[in-house]
């Protein structure tokens, strides 16, 4: 009986050593890896009185590589960015005629496929 136990333990060790059996999947956290894919970032640009602002420039800046996408708000004050990578962080803000909104963060930890917010010009 002891001989069989030693052979089994030896076989498991050999299988692990040669990569036949992997425990990496059991030990590796997968929380961040589940956040892959694309999202839509949209919303409205408003002034201090919450009236919609047409023609504002909305910026979406990748926090890692600093690339910037821009969008001009519609006559209803709306903006929309599609195919935004969910595994990266972004800064989002609006500007018009010297007025600027606060910068909002679109986080890779946020699992929403549709990220919607209001950007208020100050």
Question: Which is higher by pLDDT, 10 or 95?
Answer: 95
CATH code for residues 36-120 = 2.60.40.10
Lowest-confidence pick of 13-17, 54-58, 66-70, 100-104: 13-17
Mean pLDDT over 57-65 rounds to 98
**What pLDDT, on a 0 to 100 scale, did the predictor assign at position 7?**
52
Residues present in the chain in total: 122
Count CA atoms closer than 13 A to 117's CA, side-chain side: 18
- Average pLDDT across the chain, whole number: 84
Q: What is the pTM of this model?
A: 0.71
Lowest-confidence pick of 19-28, 64-73, 86-95: 19-28
Q: How many CB atoms lie within 10 A of CB 40?
A: 14
- Token pair listed for 101: 């909104």
β-pairing verdict for 114-120 and 57-62? unpaired
The domains of the chain are located at 1-30, 36-120
């Amino acid at each position: 009986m002891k001989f069989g136990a030693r052979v089994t333990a030896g076989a498991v060790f050999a299988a692990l050593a040669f990569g036949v059996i992997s425990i990496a999947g059991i030990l590796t956290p997968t929380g961040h890896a589940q956040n892959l894919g694309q999202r839509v970032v949209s919303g409205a640009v408003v002034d201090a009185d919450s009236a919609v602002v047409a023609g504002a420039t909305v910026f979406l800046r990748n926090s890692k590589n600093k690339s910037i996408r821009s969008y001009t708000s519609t006559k209803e004050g709306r903006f929309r960015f599609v195919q935004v990578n969910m595994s990266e962080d972004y800064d989002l803000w609006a500007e018009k005629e010297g007025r600027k909104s606060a910068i909002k963060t679109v986080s890779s930890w946020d699992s929403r496929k549709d990220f919607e917010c209001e950007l208020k010009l100050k």
